Amino acid sequence: MRAIQQTGYGAADVLALADLPAPRPGPGEVLVRVAAAAIDRGTWHVMVGRPYPVRPALGLTRPRRPVPGLDLAGVVAAVGPGVARLREGDRVFGIGEGSLAELARAREDRLAPAPAALPLEDAAALGVSGMAALQALDDVGRVRAGERVLILGASGGVGTFAVQLAVALGAEVTAVCSAAKAAAVRGLGAREVLDYAREDPTAAPGRFDLVIDVAGNRPLADLRRAMTPEGRLVFVGNEGAGDWFGMFARPLRAALAAPFTRQRFAMLVSRERRAGLERLAAHVDAGRIRPVIDRRVPLDGVAGALRDLEAGRVLGKVLVRIA
């Protein structure tokens, strides 16, 4: 099969198009003929192997899994032992292993039927980012209709879903992104869109019931100032936290402050399961959310797309057409 192979950690030149043996599904797994995959900031983190504390899980000097990619949509090509719910020919989307390839393995419980309201390849953009946004808002943040929600990093993969889901759940959304992407984010339903380079969304005290921090680069004290006395804060990203242990600094400070305040803090640990994917698909089919796709590239365009993502030139997700 054709696949993107990652030979080590570093810039995009560690990725190359290669012919590799096709994987075989193990117990509880299926083999998916991939129609499309998607890349976002998480793909970049796996490519560079940072922050460094993730290396023991990924591989210390090079990734244990030679093919990157998680998001996928496609057709079930084969099923492994113990698979009861899916059959060959089913159209599915969700989370796989090595999705930047013509064939990818996936656990049965990390796939769901593709939503009818989208072309199959577009469903590849839903899984990782959509699940993170849904869990941050609903499961962890417990947003309620009429609440004021601040979303930092609103133009990325998670952020574009978070804006739409918060609006669908009845919240009043203030979104923060670059000026170049403001019009697109406003089109997702945000009531107010702020340019992070010119406006401080945390300047007005006590304004927000819920803060979803995808950008991850503002001090905890600033975020707390923007929250109501009983506001909630969900850490989703830590892009500005450094390559070692900075990613834990703000959650640790929040944990230390928690006993002394009515404000509540949580760090999202996304759980990728079928039930959540089915909830996402239901939102899509009801017309409440849609994936924001910056561009569509072939497999040999992955490295260039990741360079653009690192430079901040991507809105939403990049879709990788495979079949």
Burial of 205 (0-12, 13-18, 19+ CB in 10 A): exposed
- pLDDT for the residue numbered 142: 96
Under 8 Å between Cβ of 209 and 148:
yes
Phi and psi dihedrals of 302, rounded to 5?
-65, -45
Residues (pLDDT < 70) of the chain are: 238-247
- pLDDT for the residue numbered 268: 87
- pLDDT for the residue numbered 239: 63
Rounded Cα gap, residues 66 and 60, in angstroms:
13
pLDDT digits (tens, 9 = 90+) for 251-309: 888 888 888 899 999 988 888 889 999 999 999 999 999 999 999 999 999 999 999 99
- pLDDT for the residue numbered 316: 96
pLDDT digits (tens, 9 = 90+) for 19-33: 999 999 999 999 999
Instruction: Determine the distance from the C-alpha atom of residue 13 to the mean position of all C-alpha atoms in its chain, rounded to a whole number.
Output: 23
- pLDDT for the residue numbered 245: 58
DSSP H or E stretch at residue 296: strand 293-297
pTM of the model: 0.94
- pLDDT for the residue numbered 130: 97
- pLDDT for the residue numbered 58: 83
- pLDDT for the residue numbered 244: 60
- pLDDT for the residue numbered 241: 56
**Domains of the chain (ranges, CATH numbers):** 2-126+291-321 (3.90.180.10), 129-267 (3.40.50.720)
pLDDT more than 90, % of the chain: 79
First to last CA, the chain: 11
